[in-house]
Amino acid sequence: MTPPKPSSHNLFILGLRSVVFFAFQVVTLFVFAPLVLLSFPFSYSIRYSIASAWAKLVIKGLRVICHLDFQVTGAENIKGNGIIFCKHQSAWETFALQVIFPEQCWVLKRELLWIPLFGWALALTQPIAIDRSKKSKSFKQIIKQGTERLKSGRWVVIFPEGTRTAPGEKRKYLVGGALLAEKSGYPVIPVAHNAGSYWRKKAFIKYPGTIQVKIGEMIDSKSISARELNQQAENWIEGQMEGMSE
């Protein structure tokens, strides 16, 4: 659901809150990123716990500063580990998934690892960093590294549309995540949400409210093809999005 258009006074308040939140993000990043880098000699779990602590703190800051919270439906479907197919509307879900799901890694564009401090710390969480201009190579990398991560007990987060989409928009679901499921034998769990209505794509203002997150039942990858799995996940996610945009 899209927040109502704010008055000029409310827009000033929203802007002020968003500035404070941005400052909070930056300050805490400069605390946690060096801690992640300093944890390099230790185990992956320790590095991940520090990195995810920052994400969880950001979500708390968002609730306190910007009055933006979230509500989850279907958390009982989170079992074992598998591949998360998540709608990508905002920067919000990159933080929130670390609150909702256990230990995980992400399929992301490799350019993110080039960002000073943030990218260096991100690299230590062992993401699957792909070159999106080389699709065939990227799919092979997702299957190989994704299977390794899954076998280690982690969830693998994939945004099947490949990039953020504004509310009401839809992109073709790429097959890389479904191929990983087919080849690895791990299930897919679909996730829909309407974060883009509150923390919009490439927007600075964060609107108050409650983001709705819906988690579907796991889709068994052993009984259907990658193409069928991809279509089933897409149908479920987009069906939920229609309900949340009313």
Tokens matching residue 71: 């509500």
188-193 and 209-215 as β-strands: parallel, antiparallel, unpaired? antiparallel
What pLDDT sits at residue 245?
61
13-64 pLDDT tens trace: 999 999 999 999 999 999 999 999 999 999 999 999 999 999 999 999 999 9
118-150 pLDDT tens trace: 999 999 999 999 988 888 888 899 999 999 999
Average pLDDT score over residue span 216-244: 93
**Share above pLDDT 70 across residues of the chain, in percent, rounded to a whole number:** 96
Whole-number mean pLDDT of the chain? 92
100-112 pLDDT tens trace: 999 999 999 899 9
What pLDDT sits at residue 3?
65
Please state the domain extents for the chain: 8-244
| pTM metric for this prediction | 0.92
Right CATH for 8-244 from 3.40.50, 1.10.150, 3.30.1330, 3.40.1130: 3.40.1130
Q: Which of 185, 192, 183, 207 is nearest to 14 (CA)?
A: 207
The C-alpha angle with vertex 150 and arms to 149 and 155, in degrees rounded to 5, equals: 95
Asked if residue 6 has pLDDT above 70, the reply is no
What pLDDT sits at residue 1?
58
